[in-house]
């Protein structure tokens, strides 16, 4: 549940900050008439994201077991690729996000209502589709039939909405660069588990070999149905009997991705600026 809560919080907060920046800029520049098309774009993005999630959940139920595993494994790996790109993108561009959105809004205001709807839709829709795909993959990896993973996601999104509102009202200020850095690192750990689960799906679909080659089996020490087994699976997608290929892919992804993600930015001054600017952004939004 914690891993899925983190996904909902991280992805939801990004979307909330985007909406806050858009709304605050329109209010500051006295373009309140543009708020309705912006909210319309946000609403369309949310609806399409929910529809995409429903399609993933219900569109594969009538398929054969092998087909379900093949699609599930492929989409799990795709979701890991998207979320990995997202955490690196946010690390690199967080300090420029506000200026970038303001520029797009200025251009959309000059064009008209349709451009405003499109701008808001694209700004939020990317986050929504990424979230729907990664949440589906993570919930699937976390244990089908259990409401805990989905509950964690919804709780994380609800927390993100509250935090976004507090940012907008100026009641809360945190160092967003540092927040996204450490939540990004934790998300990489979650993604590694989803990746390993996706590889296992592809092995069960007979697309990849090595299903019978177990790296180890500690099910007797950490029973999957024990409270600590459920906790480890919920947080890290831990499996007590992974295949050799699963373990190799998990270790390689985690080691390489974490090392690159936590590597210092070029120049101490650039890094310091990247950590401070998002903090002042939240104050600007509140104004």
User: Per-residue pLDDT tens for 177-191?
Assistant: 777 788 888 888 888
Q: Lowest-confidence range among 32-46, 143-157, 212-226?
A: 143-157
List the one residue out of 96, 77, 95, 74 whose CA is nearest residue 85. 77
Look at residue 234 in the predicted model and tell me its pLDDT. Answer: 66
The whole-model pTM stands at 0.72
Contact 243, 203 (CB under 8 A): yes
Q: So where are the chain's domains?
A: 2-286
End-to-end CA, the chain: 35
Structure tokens belonging to residue 258: 């974490």
Statement: residue 246 has pLDDT above 90: yes
Statement: residue 277 has pLDDT above 90: no
Q: What is the pLDDT of residues 97-128, one digit of tens each?
A: 777 778 888 888 887 888 888 888 887 887 78
Please report which residue ranges of 94-175 form alpha helices under DSSP H: 97-111, 113-142, 148-169
Structure tokens belonging to residue 86: 């997202």
Look at residue 260 in the predicted model and tell me its pLDDT. Answer: 92
Look at residue 252 in the predicted model and tell me its pLDDT. Answer: 96
Cβ neighbours around 266 below 10 Å, total? 8
Q: What is the pLDDT of residues 131-176, one digit of tens each?
A: 788 878 777 776 555 666 677 778 888 888 888 888 777 756 666 6
In the chain, pLDDT over 70 holds for what percent of residues?
A: 83
Task: Give the C-alpha separation, 1 to 120, whole Å.
Answer: 30
List the one residue out of 82, 97, 93 whose CA is nearest residue 138. 82
Look at residue 101 in the predicted model and tell me its pLDDT. Answer: 78
Statement: residue 269 has pLDDT above 60: no
pLDDT band at 278, cuts 50/70/90?
Answer: very low
Structure tokens belonging to residue 100: 């970038």
Close Cβ partners of 60 (under 8 Å, ≥ 6 residues apart): 67, 68, 71, 72
Mean per-residue pLDDT for 204-213? 90
List the one residue out of 98, 10, 97, 94 whose CA is nearest residue 275. 94
DSSP 124-137: HHHHHHHHHHHHHH
pLDDT band at 280, cuts 50/70/90?
Answer: very low
């Amino acid at each position: 549940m914690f891993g899925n809560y983190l996904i909902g919080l991280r992805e939801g907060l990004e979307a909330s900050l985007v909406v806050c920046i858009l709304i605050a800029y329109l209010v500051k520049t006295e373009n309140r008439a543009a708020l309705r098309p912006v909210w319309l774009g946000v609403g369309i993005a949310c609806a399409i994201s929910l529809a995409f999630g429903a399609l993933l959940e219900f569109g594969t139920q009538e398929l054969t077991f092998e087909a379900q595993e093949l699609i599930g494994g492929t989409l799990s790996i795709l979701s890991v690729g998207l979320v990995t790109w997202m955490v690196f993108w946010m690390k690199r561009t967080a300090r420029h996000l506000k200026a970038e959105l303001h520029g797009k809004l200025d251009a959309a205001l000059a064009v008209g209502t349709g451009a405003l709807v499109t701008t808001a839709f694209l700004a939020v829709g990317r986050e929504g589709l990424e979230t729907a795909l990664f949440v589906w993959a993570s919930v699937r990896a976390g244990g089908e039939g259990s409401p805990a993973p989905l509950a964690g996601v919804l709780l994380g999104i609800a927390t993100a909405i509250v935090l976004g509102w507090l940012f907008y009202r100026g009641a809360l200020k945190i160092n967003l660069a540092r927040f996204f850095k450490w939540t990004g690192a934790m998300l990489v750990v979650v993604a590694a588990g989803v990746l390993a689960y996706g590889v296992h799906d592809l092995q069960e679909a007979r697309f990849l070999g090595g299903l019978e080659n177990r790296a180890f089996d500690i099910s007797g020490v950490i029973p999957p149905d024990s409270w600590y087994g459920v906790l480890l699976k919920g947080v890290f997608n831990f499996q007590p009997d992974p295949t050799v290929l699963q373990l190799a892919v998990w270790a390689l992804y985690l080691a390489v991705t974490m090392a690159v993600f936590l590597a210092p930015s070029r120049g101490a001054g650039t890094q310091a600026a990247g950590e401070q600017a998002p903090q002042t952004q939240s104050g600007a939004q509140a104004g």
